[in-house]
Structure 1
Amino acid sequence: MQEAVSNIAGYRFVELPDRDELREPFRLQCQKSGLKGTILLSHEGINFFLAGSQDGIDQYIDFLEEDERFSNMALKYSYTNYQPFNRMNVRLKKEIISMGMDNVKPAERTGEEITPQEFKQWLDEGKEVAVLDTRNDYEIRLGTFENAIDLDIKSFRAFPKAIQSLPEEMKDTPVVMFCTGGIRCEKASVVLMDAGFSNVKQLQGGILGYFEQVGGAHWNGDCFVFDHRVAVGPDLKQSDVVQCFACRQPLTVEEQQSSDYVIEVSCPHCIDSR
């Protein structure tokens, strides 16, 4: 049996005035450690998805710990029997998650975190809470929390405008925001607070952190992930979802049975455009 490949993901909003100078040390470390994946460096922080041997991952973590700005970072681990990335990229970006609003600075303030355990307890008890999904429409189509609010957005940049449609009375209701790993809802929480929402919380560790800590309670479906696995279930194992070669939309098992799905040609989401 092929040895498991260790996958790691992490991010942190932190001011990096030396962003450009950091690129080469990160590239060399990943090359030395035999890692593949992507590291995004921005003046607002760092975001990365990497895979390789456990020893290589450990070396990378030791490298992070040498800089106090990256020490004790919350990391997410998973394992595959193949390398999910084709190459190693270290990219310089304006934002580590694109929203296009220069005045939004998560390094300075964000909504409070709520742990997966506490969030599950709230849902178990039927506590009055607005559960807000900050992800894109194609992700939500695969799965989301029970009764979650879907903003029907195609990209994160649409989030600030989309929240204008939320009811005014929701501004005084506890709001728990969530996304895949936490980075989007951390940034989005600033926008929500600036819009006058008084009790904004973000799910610690996102959906994947929730799966890891409490399983799939109150969740329906799978969770889209941004690598070759396409989607994982509450057990954090790769699901049967695939991606259309033509339009890159994720396809459920049911959609794969459609006559519109022809491998490398079309799927129910793009057949009419061909």
Structure 2
Amino acid sequence: MNATVEQLAPVEQHAVSDWVVAALYQFKEVQNSADLQQRLLDLVKTINLCGTLIVADEGINGTVAGDRKSVDSIHQFLLNEGFTTMEYKESFSSEKPFRKMKIKHKKEIVTLGVEVKPRDLVGHYLDPKEWNDLIARDDVILVDTRNDYEYKAGTFKGAIDPKTESFRDFPEYVKQNLADHKNKKIAMFCTGGIRCEKSTSLLLQEGFEEVYHLKGGILKYLEETPAEESMWEGECFVFDGRTAVTHGMEEGENIKCHACGWPLLPEEVELPSYEHGVSCKYCIDKTTDQQKAGFRMRQSQIAAAKRKRL
């Protein structure tokens, strides 16, 4: 398997009153991942789904959304394919959270860039209650394994921001910042748990002694933990049209800058630096006037397409 193979499946354009959003992953040996990709494409052409699924020899990962029947159909398909221990979480969106349905064939279902064995070597799983007890201790190093823009929307109290722009940067962060702490308790977390499967495997492979991670990730924590018992601060960035969610998996207040992808609070949208689809306080000085003109043209085309659909 070499470069990413991505294929789009047509999404039926009929109304869905409340979109079911299913986030899922499982590390599992797949004998013929290209064939699985094709069979998934055949399935999603017959049902009403949008989102992205990534298929690789090491398993499956992704988030899809659709009506109840369609989400149940793909869930049952994957169960029949042997993905019986999937980390699987559902939430809801009042609007269509993805524009298209994509099925990608890649080398890794989440790209770390370093070979690890998450099915064989993984940290200690903790449920939300156990997690609260652990991270409240002062002898624990708490690391957010997500990217810088995700950290900005919200994180656990006291968590370290590695300031990574992609998950590929995480091994270098470990090398530069954690190598002298191999005898310490290291607790790590991510959105749905998949990145921590690989990051804990990486640390154990590098000789760290006590490595923990939050089972089911932040999404499971926010689903199960009452706000009054929570150690989470802010909102959790999600990779769909909702931008962020909060306790009870309710949609948050953050919106996404469609120029740079960073989450913005309502007060940041009111700043002069914000122009919808063109700039925000985090990117206004990072693009040229010519690029901004291109963004404005893109936004006008999107608006025109929306008016046409109406």
Q: TM (normalized to structure 1)?
A: 0.93
Quote the Cα distance in structure 2 between the aligned partners of 1:37 and 1:266.
Answer: 25
Partner of 2:95: 82
Structure 1: tracts of 5 or more residues without a match: none
1:198 corresponds to:
209
Report 1:57-72 matches (<5 A). Answer: 57-68=71-82, 70-72=83-85
Q: Give the structure 1 partner of residue 18 of structure 2.
A: 4
Which of 251, 257, 262 in structure 1 is aligned with 2:264?
A: 251
Cα distance in 2 between the residues matched to 1:26 and 1:265: 35
Q: Relative to structure 2, which stretch is displaced further, 43-52 or 242-251?
A: 242-251
Moved more, 72-81 or 181-190: 72-81
- 1:44 touches 1:107 (CA, 8 Å); kept in 2? no
Cα-Cα RMSD: 1.8
- Note if contact 1:230-1:241 (Cα within 8 Å) is conserved in structure 2: yes
The Cα of 1:235 is off from its aligned counterpart by 2.9
Runs of 5+ consecutive residues of structure 2 not aligned to the other structure = 1-15, 289-310
Secondary structure, aligned partner of 2:207: coil
The Cα offsets for residues 179-203 of structure 1, whole Å up to 9 and x where unpaired, read as 0000111111111112221011111
Q: What is the deviation of 1:145?
A: 0.5
Q: Could you tell me how far 1:218 is from its partner in structure 2?
A: 1.0
State the shift of 1:118 in Å.
0.7
What is the identity, as a one-letter code, of the residue corresponding to 2:46?
K
- Secondary structure of 2:63's match? strand
**Structure 2 residue aligned with 1:154:** 165
Q: CA deviation at 1:265?
A: 2.2
On the 8 A contact 1:36/1:51 being kept in 2, the answer is: yes
Q: Which amino acid aligns with 2:207?
A: G
Residue 100, structure 1, aligned to residue 113, structure 2: yes
Residues in 2 aligned to 1:175 and 1:87: alpha-carbon distance in whole angstroms: 38
Deviations 1:14-54 (A, max 9, x none): 11130011112111222223211111101111002111111
- Amino acid corresponding to residue 255 of structure 1 in structure 2: E
Q: For 1:111, which of 101, 106, 123 is the aligned residue?
A: 123
Which residue in 1 is equivalent to 2:132? 120
> Could you tell me which of 199, 221, 225 is aligned with 2:234?
221
* Aligned partner letter, 1:233: T
Aligned 8 A contact 1:100 1:157 in 2 = yes
Partners of 2:37 and 2:103 within 8 A in 1: yes
- Residue in 1 aligned with 2:199? 188
TM-score relative to the length of structure 2:
0.83
Match of 1:14 in 2: 28
CA distance in 2, matches of 1:100, 1:208: 25
Structure 1 residues 198-251: Cα deviation after superposition (integer angstroms, max 9, x where no partner): 011111000011111114411111111001111111231111211112222221
CA 1:219–1:139: 2 relative to 1, 3 Å: same
Equivalent pair of 2:26/2:85 in contact (CA under 8 Å) = no
Q: How far apart are the structure 2 equivalents of 1:163 and 1:169?
A: 10
Instruction: Report the alpha carbon displacement of residue 66 of structure 1 after superposing the two structures with TM.
Output: 1.2
Among all aligned residue pairs of Structure 1 and Structure 2, give the percentage whose two residues are the same amino acid.
Answer: 37
Q: Which has the larger radius of gyration?
A: 2
Give 4+ residue runs of structure 1 displaced > 6 Å after superposition: none
Find out whether 1:265 has 2:278 as its counterpart: yes
Equivalent position to 1:31, from 11, 25, 45: 45
The amino acid of 1:164's aligned partner reads K
